[in-house]
Chains A and B, each alone.
Chain A
Amino acid sequence: MQLTGTKQIRKLQFGEIFFRNGLALSALALGIILLAIFITILVASIPSIKAIGISFFYGKTWNPVENDFGGLPFLIGTLITSLLALIISIPFSIAVGLFLGEYFTKGFLSVFFKNIIELLAAIPSVIYGFVGMFVLVPFVRDLETSLNVPPYGVGIFTASIILSIMVIPYSVSLIRQVIMLVPSSYKEAAYSLGATRYEVIKNVILPYTRSGIFAGILLSLGRALGETMAVTMLIGNSQIIPKSIFAPSNTMASVIANEFTEATGDVYLSALVEMGLFLFVVTTIINVIGRQIIKRFSIN
């Protein structure tokens, strides 16, 4: 098409600017929403920050009757369940990612498996909670009986297993993609030197994709830290600091979900909001550390 006059050029320019502004506005809006959330919960936590002070972050008691709130048991519960879930899920995530990204990239079955795994992310977490309760808990109880620990059935171990299944789709989808992005020239070069497929994976694909793999794991960690419903159904909701992975515990997200509706009294309500703030900060710190590790891992 030929441009016939300044009018038309202006019209095109206007469209360009309009489109770009639209994008900028959306991006800006997201940033503002994040900031607004942070400010809102910060302001709402002020009564609790004033009343409890710094001991909120290391106190071991959570006593709504006495208005004495310490978040340490919940922080420990959150970190242990999330990390344990991550440790359980990592081998599976990488294995599935390799299978779908390297061995089985095309065809009906590949699409089928890929969708099945993505579907895992679409299952509501309360369903995971139920499955955990009715399938996993009796099994864990038998295991605990044979190990001679108190046979509660629920606890950190049970919650972590279910959590690990829940986070797998998040890391797999990213890991599969980065593995597919490994340039075939690299792989071909390795093959031409006589490398076996296993050697190619070990010496070419995994080193090349390690920052992507780590990013996938970080994504699933974010999911694990914030998961509420399934965890609260399976963790046993005890505020006593756990002494073993079979002990019941509690997480930051689940104490908020459990107690928020019936929290009366300004300090109590505010302490729960401060718990949210605490979780926000912890998640941010973990993400920042994670980004640094990804940077260090990146090849260029």
Chain B
Amino acid sequence: MKTKIKTTINLAAVIILLFSMAAFKNYKVVKPIAIADDNELTGAGATFPFPFYSKLFDEYNKKTSIKVNYQSIGSGGGIKQLQAKTVDFGASDAPMSDEELKNSPAPIAHIPTCLGADVVTYNIPGEPTLQLSGDVVADIFLGKITKWNDARITKLNPTAKLTDLAISVVHRSDGSGTTYIFSDYLSKVSAEWNTKPGKGKSLEWPAGLGAKGNEGVAGMVKQTPGAIGYVELIYAQQNKMPMAKLKNKSGNFIEATLASVSAAANVKIPDDARVSITDTDAKDGYPISSFTYLLVYKTQNYEGRAEAKAKNTLKLIWWTTHEGQQFASPLMYAPLPKEAIAVAEKILKSVTFNGKAIL
């Protein structure tokens, strides 16, 4: 009897303890950001421009003593962190969709910082430089062209020695901005691709194998005879992988280089900079190119942020789109063309704090 009572009391004590622990949840935990120094900025998002940003922010720190902590957790994560207002800025490879913008607590501005590109790489004997067109790439990834000596490929490459080797398609298995850019391009050049699978960071792939990350796709392509895949330009260049020249809208076969990627952005850019430049109209532009963006709230006085902090955030981004551009090319990122910088300036000048422009 006595032990029973004791057990009951003990249990009650435990439950009370648990409830009191739960009650703690309701106390507003001071976010680290709120107590952080105004000279310390945090950002999170895209992994693709991470080497560029980390070099930039390091240089900026040397120059201004402002410390930037950037977490490359992926574009999706960056958008979520910005929406939760836990970071000063987010970063994304693809512009935010209308739905994402609608689900955000306040209007968000996109500022382009540099350009990236996807290349089509392959593993065929002799490693010839292939010339491919958008519709052929689409049909290969749809699983409709299955042999390397298919008439549509040989027609574009009359001099290359192509055998009846089977084509193994390799795509990304993880959600990725790289896949977004690639599928965005294919959606524009192939009506069938546009209906299905469409464009997105992850797709319902009709054919092929999935591998994780650029390194996964590159590794799988290198290992598998007859494989074809897509990786970021930087990754392909660093690993000296064969890259196909792609036929752009103007009918020119363009090799992916920093110059041809920058050239792809020589098009009319809308005021909010949310633009897809795949399948570019630019004559010498490489067709699978894309901007990568930093994201900030258009109104910076939220969650009791100090004006100094808002100013520091905006100044950093301004520097990134101007002086910072010199660090892009050495790291194999394509710098912004003049037109894009002009748009970025306009967007940055429109960001306000308490109704007043910050810059």
Contact A239-B166, Cβ < 8 Å, known A232-B212, A261-B74, A262-B174: no
In the bound complex, residues from chain B placing their C-beta under 8 Å from that of A266 are 103
- In the complex, A154 has a CB within 8 A of chain B: yes
In the bound complex, residues from chain A placing their C-beta under 8 Å from that of B76 are 261-264
- In the complex, B160 has a CB within 8 A of chain A: no
- In the complex, A122 has a CB within 8 A of chain B: no
Contact A233 B223 (CB under 8 A): no
- In the complex, A164 has a CB within 8 A of chain B: no
A61 to B13, CA, bound (A): 50
Contact A262-B198, Cβ < 8 Å, known A64-B203, A150-B166: no
Contact A153-B223, Cβ < 8 Å, known A24-B10, A61-B204, A237-B211: yes
Contact A239 B201 (CB under 8 A): no
A15 to B251, CA, bound (A): 85
- Interface positions, chain A 221-250, Cβ under 8 Å from B, are 232-233, 236-239, 248, 250
In the bound complex, residues from chain A placing their C-beta under 8 Å from that of B200 are 64-65
A266 to B79, CA, bound (A): 13
Contact B201 A262 (CB under 8 A): yes
| B17 CB, nearest partner CB in chain A, Å | 8
Contact A238-B202, Cβ < 8 Å, known A32-B18, A233-B216: no
Contact B175 A258 (CB under 8 A): yes
How many residues of chain A have a CB within 8 Å of chain B?
Answer: 40
Contact A25-B212, Cβ < 8 Å, known A64-B201, A262-B176: no
Binary CB contact string for chain B from 288 to 328 against chain A (1 if under 8 A, 0 otherwise): 00000000000000000000000000000000000000000
Contact B202 A138 (CB under 8 A): no
Contact A24 B14 (CB under 8 A): yes
Binary CB contact string for chain A from 134 to 156 against chain B (1 if under 8 A, 0 otherwise): 00011001000000001111100
Contact A66 B198 (CB under 8 A): yes
Binary CB contact string for chain B from 223 to 257 against chain A (1 if under 8 A, 0 otherwise): 11000000000000000000000000000000000
| B237 CB, nearest partner CB in chain A, Å | 23
Contact B176 A239 (CB under 8 A): no
| B210 CB, nearest partner CB in chain A, Å | 3
A187 to B112, CA, bound (A): 77
| B180 CB, nearest partner CB in chain A, Å | 9
- In the complex, B149 has a CB within 8 A of chain A: no
Binary CB contact string for chain A from 59 to 83 against chain B (1 if under 8 A, 0 otherwise): 0011111100000000000000000
In the bound complex, residues from chain B placing their C-beta under 8 Å from that of A21 are 10, 13-14
In the bound complex, residues from chain B placing their C-beta under 8 Å from that of A28 are 14
- Interface positions, chain A 16-72, Cβ under 8 Å from B, are 17, 21, 24-25, 28, 32, 61-66
In the bound complex, residues from chain B placing their C-beta under 8 Å from that of A194 are none
Contact B14 A65 (CB under 8 A): no
Interface centre among A65, A66, A262 (most CB of B within 10 A): A262
Contact B10 A261 (CB under 8 A): no
A152 to B198, CA, bound (A): 25
Considering only CB atoms, which chain B residue lies closest to A28 in the complex?
B14
A153 to B199, CA, bound (A): 28
- In the complex, B37 has a CB within 8 A of chain A: no
A198 to B80, CA, bound (A): 63
- In the complex, B208 has a CB within 8 A of chain A: yes
A259 to B204, CA, bound (A): 12
Specify which of A65, A138, A152, A238 is in contact with B197 (CB 8 Å cutoff): A65
Contact B210 A236 (CB under 8 A): yes
Contact B173 A232 (CB under 8 A): yes
- In the complex, B6 has a CB within 8 A of chain A: yes
A150 to B225, CA, bound (A): 11
Contact A262 B205 (CB under 8 A): no
- In the complex, B209 has a CB within 8 A of chain A: yes
Contact A237 B209 (CB under 8 A): yes
Contact B212 A154 (CB under 8 A): no
Considering only CB atoms, which chain B residue lies closest to A24 in the complex?
B10
Contact B175 A138 (CB under 8 A): no
In the bound complex, residues from chain B placing their C-beta under 8 Å from that of A152 are 168, 209, 224
In the bound complex, residues from chain A placing their C-beta under 8 Å from that of B223 are 133, 137-138, 153
Contact A264-B79, Cβ < 8 Å, known A65-B197, A65-B203, A153-B224: yes
Contact A238 B209 (CB under 8 A): yes
Specify which of A137, A141, A151, A261 is in contact with B175 (CB 8 Å cutoff): A261
A261 to B73, CA, bound (A): 7
Which 3 residue pairs are nearest across A and B when measured between Cβ atoms? A237-B210, A262-B175, A237-B173
What are 12 A-B pairs at a CB distance below 8 A? A21-B10, A21-B14, A64-B203, A138-B223, A152-B168, A152-B209, A236-B210, A238-B208, A258-B202, A261-B74, A264-B76, A265-B100
B binding-site residues for A, Cβ under 8 Å: 6, 10, 13-14, 18, 73-77, 79-80, 97, 99-100, 103, 166, 168, 173-177, 197-205, 208-212, 216, 219-220, 223-224
